[in-house]
């Protein structure tokens, strides 16, 4: 009797358990391989940056970036990864004033913004006061964001607006300003 019951239920039971274990192993394996690949890529970029900073120090140039550096490690990268890293190195070299092979055409002068109107000057003062207030308080509510945004609308495309936003961004990234939960973007 017991054996008959087992013959009836055990096949489906063990097949189900087998399937579940198999699926779990497959998913774990895929996630692990992806994580390892990401770590490899981070290591490679870190080591390239480290090499670049060493080079910059040797030539007296200012260091580029301050991201945490990781120990270099050998790895095989795809062509796509190598191209991305080559592009990144070129950008870093350019920013650090180092030699860059390629176009040597002089950059076009940056157009200067026209003088702000009196209305815009007032908006800059009001928005600046609000930004200073939220930065010094360390908190930024959704209402604060809307208020600052209302003022910045008058400064569309102006450098003053960018500077005020950057003030908020730097304070947030340095953990000196904590937006309220439900943060819906910068002003």
Partner 1 sequence: MKQFTLSKPLLRGVLFPGVALAVLGLAPVAWGGLQSQTVFCQKNADGSGLCYGNFIGFREDATSTSSASFRDDLAGTRSFDARTTPPGGTSPVLYTCIPNAAVSALWEQALSSRGFFRVSWDASGTCDYLRLVNSSQNTNF
Residues making contact with partner 1 (CB under 8 A) = 1-3, 6-7, 10-11, 14-15, 17-19, 21-26, 29-31, 33-35, 38, 65-68, 80, 84, 88, 91, 95, 152-153, 156-157, 161-162, 165-166, 169-170, 172-175, 178-179, 181, 183, 185-187
Residue 181 DSSP class: T
Task: Please report how close the Cβ of residue 18 comes to partner 1 at its closest, in angstroms.
Answer: 3
DSSP assignment string, 132-178: HHHHHHTEE-HHHHHHHHHHHGGGTT-HHHHHHHHHHHHHHHTTS-E
d(CA 143, CA 50): 43
Task: Please report how close the Cβ of residue 149 comes to partner 1 at its closest, in angstroms.
Answer: 8
Task: Please report how close the Cβ of residue 40 comes to partner 1 at its closest, in angstroms.
Answer: 13
Gyration radius from the chain CA atoms:
28
- Closest to partner 1 by CB, 11 or 72: 11
């Amino acid at each position: 009797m017991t054996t008959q019951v087992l013959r009836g239920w055990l096949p489906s039971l063990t097949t189900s358990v087998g399937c579940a274990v198999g699926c779990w192993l497959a998913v774990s394996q895929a996630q692990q391989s992806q994580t390892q690949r990401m770590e490899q890529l981070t290591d490679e970029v870190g080591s390239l940056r480290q090499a670049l900073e060493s080079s910059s120090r040797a030539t007296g140039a200012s260091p580029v970036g301050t991201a945490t550096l990781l120990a270099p490690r050998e790895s095989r990268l795809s062509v796509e990864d190598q191209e991305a890293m080559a592009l990144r190195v070129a950008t870093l070299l350019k920013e650090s004033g180092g030699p860059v092979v390629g176009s040597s055409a002089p950059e076009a002068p940056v157009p200067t913004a026209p003088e702000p109107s009196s209305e815009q000057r007032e908006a800059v003062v009001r928005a600046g006061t609000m930004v200073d207030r939220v930065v010094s308080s360390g908190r930024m509510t959704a209402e604060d964001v809307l208020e600052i945004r209302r003022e910045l609308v008058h400064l569309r495309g102006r450098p003053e607006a960018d500077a005020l936003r950057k003030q908020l961004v730097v304070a947030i990234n340095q953990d000196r300003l904590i937006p309220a939960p439900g943060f819906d973007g910068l002003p």
